[in-house]
Chains A and B, each alone.
Chain A
Amino acid sequence: MDATTVRTGIGCLMLILLCAASASAQIEDQLSVYTGANAIGYMQPLADAFGADLNASLFHSAEIARIGFHFRLEFPIMGVIFSDDDRTFTAVTEGDFSPEQRVQAPTIIGSGEAKVVTGYGGTSYAFPGGFDLNSFAIAVPQLRIGSVFGTEAILRYFSINTGDVELGDLGLFGFGIRHSVSQYLGPVFPVDIAAGFFWQKFKLGENKDGDDLISVKAFTIGVQASKKFAVFVPYTGLSYDTSSMDVAYVNDSSGAEERIDLDFDSTKTVHWTIGMMIDLIYLNAFAEYNIAGQSSFSFGLGIGFGVGI
């Protein structure tokens, strides 16, 4: 993997993120007719997907050397495949429309077509369409560096100023620590064991007030195990994940602008990871599946050097 490939990879990751920012401008338009429960129902699949994606691909081995320098830059792509259940939610007509009606309307990942219902006197009410997504993925560069007394640090970071007042900035910062448990178990223990935590915050888009449109926080703590067979490293992990999402936008459905702040309830889930890494000398490739409240998968590449990478 030469420098050009690395630059291409980073460029591609930025492209994904910029496209996500582009979509965020439409998200506020779609949300602007919703308040309260409708807005939460509309956005819930995205909140779940963010949490699942962010808490994936944080480890690909449980082997951490007790002492020795290692450094690895990784480019994981984390994704979820949505189910049919994610595509609609029970929405309620808002405002002065009567009679009040409950219908299955598209969520943010549902059909692009608006759902229209009719009321008294030939009136109509429209629920906005979604983005018609089958999947949602995040690509994040992450740096793994260690180790001191069997401990390594993991850092995720990017920040992009789109230069567009409507799109705003987007960025992610995440930090975590992993510690080798194997060092206390002796050399005859059959698998490598590690434990760690990771915290991160992701923001996307800018609302009409100039604040973050979407802000996501995620935290995970867990244990991991792996075993190296030549270049193959099967790995697994069990963790406890939490994630929360805040959405702030301007609602103008009544004709007057009103700021809406939505706090999505924190999602808590047990998370089981199974994956495989192919560990070459300076390059490794990995793929994993994560079984959790919202299951996800991840794959990617890493480049690095040092002891115990």
Chain B
Amino acid sequence: MIIRLIVVAALVLILWLGTRNMKVVPGRGQAALEFVLDFVRKGIVIDTLGEKDGKRFMPVLMTFFFLVLGMNLVGTVPLLQISGTAVAGLPLILSVVAFFLFVVAGFARHGWKYLKNALFLPGVPWPLYFLLTPIEFLSTFILRPVTLFLRLLMNMVAGHMMLVLVFSATQFFLFTVLAQGNLMGLLGIGTFAFGTIWIVFELFVATLQAYVFTFLATIYIQMSLAEEH
């Protein structure tokens, strides 16, 4: 999709120009950029992973945040109007990367003991493992990447479909029903107002999903790195 190329180009441009000549006393643009960068760095990564591990995983998590944020927000820009994340490819790639990230991080830290940490909860009487281990396997290695993928994709798809429904209803009510002289067509004013509000809600959802995706990826990495479950 050409949208994704546009978004990536815009992101590179914004981040490059925004950090090209940094000043000690930041201007308005630099202050805004620093606020977002600092929020991801402190609020998400270092708070969860700690200073040392946080710095190791910072580049990829920062990429997640800005890529998802840019791709989500473009869905509310007039004339572009579709999110890069509303088509399955990009969320799929991102969640596969996140999946390998936390599995490989766990194996690199603990070796084969990672599987024991992930699959066998400590402090449970052993017959329960027949029940718990399949559930833990399902939740860690299958449901985690699948829900990362579906949450991002379906938030964007559902938001986009709501907008399509509401604005096509507006078109139908105002230009077909009202044009025939039926006063039911005045409902179109309501659907138009709702659609306008929904665009603002989409802005909120786009930011929230970028935050949630990055936060969950960070937490999964933290869970793999932790000593005990």
Q: Real complex partners, A and B?
A: no
Which residues of A are in contact with B by a Cβ distance under 8 Å? Answer: none
Which residues of B are in contact with A by a Cβ distance under 8 Å? Answer: none
